[in-house]
């Protein structure tokens, strides 16, 4: 499959396809024309020696007052890439780098950035031939966009920096040569266009949003399993209750749990109010869905936006400076979403506690193991879940409320959006593990229950037992957690459930 880019219609699903499935990328004819017009306009305006254009014949940031001579314009752009390649820390995952490259191409394809087609095509060719720049994860303030990480990408285009090709870490020059891609020399404004913008934070958020959507479906399933294992009252998920407070996310989550518990009678729980971690699954999971929907809406606008500076407007024959590089929209929704996902982990950890707690889990054995005392069962798995839930509370601290002025106070308010999105990615990873531990405990509880699981949950249990045996006595628990975590992320787990009850909401 080839993803066609025009700067207007990129979807999050397309980002996932290019980033994770390495789908090909191509520019549309409309994008080619928009880029040509933009470049022609910029070259005409830059040819006027009396006209100052930021980043073309001026310095950058606080150095905007420094004029650059015509014979230094190309060197200015290369210097920009070299000086801004200042990232540190572990490398961004390949999928993040691919997504960021895609978002930069799509933004430049709108035709407001003044780059040459040859420059844009080089970035497309790198994606298609899988030349992946080695990009340190730390160094972006989220305004003027993702300068440092994007400079590490642009450096490889120049035959500099470092890259990964066919799994081998190489110099940028060697990687480009092996892939058969010609390195480029930047012309007026091109370096600035390549590094001024929000594609790294946008890439992180896009990948995290996709993962959040998956985990929300998983959370309804494992939550329903816990409700059943703890003899919860299914009437809490009644349609009438949800319609009386008609948040769409709440309604969707309740529908899922109700379908998973179809035909389960209230039994001895008739009229009983369960603990909040059971009874309020639709309200909490639903609120997380609302946060995800909002973040997705903002992100879909952002990934189809021109986010560099200055922007070229061919119809008006002008170049205007502004602030579209500022990452505040991504920063705020990344913070919102990491708060929401931390809550998804929090309520799951509380259900784990109830499944294991000798005073709260009904007729189930302490810590879900025979000969409790001699055996500790899944006792310490809850410690792990609690540790991750606590870490998430720290990671959920909003990055966007912080700002440190830079560039001699010219850039005196920054978004910290990339930090927010990096933390979100860690929160999502932790929540996946917490849900895996809940799944382990829910399936282990089944070993001590006489009542048969509802159809979809039976299929879920069977799928888990294909990979993870029931715990009969103490053994190394990390192996079970690792196996359950792999299952949580496999599409086959949810496909097993959906074969019984249809697609989840």
**CATH code of the domain in which 482 resides:** 1.20.200.10
Q: Is 378 a catalytic site residue?
A: no
Neighbouring CB atoms inside 10 A of 465's CB total 13
Q: Of 197, 229, 258, which closes a domain? A: 197
Same-domain check for residues 130 and 246: no
- The answer on 183 and 234 residing in a single domain is no
Pick the catalytic residue from 54, 165, 448, 461. 54
Q: Is the dihedral of CA 145, 24, 95, 460 positive or negative?
A: positive
255 and 336 share one domain: yes
User: Is 0.75 surpassed by the pTM of this model?
Assistant: yes
Same domain, 167 and 225: no
Per-residue pLDDT tens, the chain, 505 aa: give them.
899 999 999 999 999 999 999 999 999 999 999 999 999 999 999 888 788 888 888 878 788 788 878 888 889 999 999 999 999 999 999 999 999 999 999 999 999 999 999 999 999 999 999 999 999 999 999 998 899 999 999 999 999 999 999 999 999 999 999 999 999 999 999 999 999 999 999 999 999 999 999 999 999 999 999 999 999 999 999 999 999 999 999 999 999 999 999 988 765 566 678 999 999 999 999 999 999 999 999 999 999 999 999 999 999 999 999 999 999 999 999 999 999 999 999 999 999 999 999 999 999 999 999 999 999 999 999 999 999 999 999 999 999 999 998 988 888 899 999 999 999 999 999 999 999 999 999 999 999 998 999 989 999 999 999 999 999 999 999 999 999 999 999 999 999 999 989 999 8
* Domain edge (last residue) among 159, 177, 197: 197
Q: Of the candidates 15, 175, 164, 31, which has an alpha carbon nearest to the alpha carbon of residue 101?
A: 15
In this structure, the answer to whether residues 132 and 258 fall within a common structural domain is no
**Do residues 180 and 280 share a domain?**
no
* 164 bridge partner residues: 132, 169
Of 142, 162, 197, which closes a domain?
A: 197
- Distance between CA atoms of residues 369 and 94, nearest Å: 41
Pairing of strands 131-133, 136-138: unpaired
Q: How many structural domains comprise the chain?
A: 2
Q: Examine the domain organization and report whether 265 and 190 are in the same domain.
A: no
228 and 189 both lie in a single domain: no
Q: Are residues 30 and 159 in the same domain?
A: yes
Task: Let me know how many helices (H) and strands (E) the chain has, helices first.
Answer: 19, 9
- The C-alpha atoms of residue 203 and residue 303 are separated, in whole angstroms, by 9
Residues whose CB falls within 8 Å of the CB of residue 481, separated by 6 or more in sequence, listed in order? 381, 384, 433, 436, 437, 440
The domain of 185 spans 2-197
385 and 257 together in one domain: yes
């Amino acid at each position: 499959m080839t993803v066609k880019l025009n700067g207007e219609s990129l979807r999050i699903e397309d980002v996932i396809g290019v980033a994770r499935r390495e789908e090909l990328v191509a520019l549309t004819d409309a994008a080619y024309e928009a880029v040509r017009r933009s470049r022609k306009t910029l070259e005409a305006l830059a040819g006027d020696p009396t006209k100052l254009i930021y980043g073309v014949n001026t310095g950058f940031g606080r150095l905007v007052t420094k004029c650059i001579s015509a014979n230094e314009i190309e060197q200015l752009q290369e210097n920009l890439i070299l000086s801004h390649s200042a990232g540190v820390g572990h490398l961004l995952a390949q999928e993040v780098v691919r997504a960021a490259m895609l978002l930069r191409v799509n933004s430049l394809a709108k035709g407001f950035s003044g780059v040459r087609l040859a420059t844009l095509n080089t970035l497309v060719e790198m994606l298609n031939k899988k030349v992946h720049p080695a990009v340190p994860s730390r160094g972006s303030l989220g305004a003027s966009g993702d300068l440092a990480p994007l400079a590490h990408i642009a450096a490889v285009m120049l035959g500099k920096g470092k890259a990964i090709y066919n799994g081998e870490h190489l110099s940028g020059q060697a990687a480009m040569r092996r892939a058969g891609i010609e390195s480029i020399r930047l012309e007026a404004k091109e370096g600035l266009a390549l590094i001024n913008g929000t594609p790294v934070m946008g890439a992180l958020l896009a990948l995290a949003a996709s993962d959040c959507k998956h985990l929300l479906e998983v959370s309804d399933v494992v939550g329903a399993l816990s409700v059943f294992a703890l003899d919860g009252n299914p009437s809490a998920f009644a349609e009438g209750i949800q319609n009386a407070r008609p948040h769409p996310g709440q309604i969707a989550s309740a529908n899922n749990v109700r379908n998973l518990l179809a035909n389960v009678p209230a039994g001895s729980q008739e009229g009983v109010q369960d603990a909040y971690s059971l009874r309020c699954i639709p309200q909490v999971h639903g609120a997380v869905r609302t946060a995800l929907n909002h973040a997705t809406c903002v992100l879909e606008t952002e990934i189809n936006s021109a986010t560099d500076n200055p922007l070229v407007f061919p119809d008006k024959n002008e170049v205007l400076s502004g602030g579209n590089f500022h990452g505040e929209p991504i920063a705020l929704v990344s913070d919102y979403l990491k708060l929401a996902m931390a809550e998804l982990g929090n309520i799951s950890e509380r259900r784990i506690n109830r499944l294991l707690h000798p005073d709260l889990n009904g007729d189930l054995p302490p810590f879900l193991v025979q000969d409790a005392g001699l055996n500790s069962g899944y006792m310490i798995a809850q410690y792990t879940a609690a540790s991750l839930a606590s870490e998430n509370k720290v990671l959920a601290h909003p990055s966007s409320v912080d700002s440190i002025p830079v560039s001699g106070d010219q850039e005196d308010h920054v978004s910290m959006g990339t930090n927010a999105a990096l933390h979100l990615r860690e929160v999502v990873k932790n929540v996946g593990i917490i849900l895996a531990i809940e799944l382990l405990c829910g399936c282990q509880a089944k070993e001590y229950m006489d009542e048969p699981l509802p159809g979809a949950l039976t299929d879920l249990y069977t799928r888990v037992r294909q990979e993870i045996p029931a715990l009969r006595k103490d053994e190394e628990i990390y192996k079970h957690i690792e196996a359950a975590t792999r299952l949580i992320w496999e599409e086959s787990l949810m496909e097993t459930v959906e074969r019984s009850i249809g697609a989840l909401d």
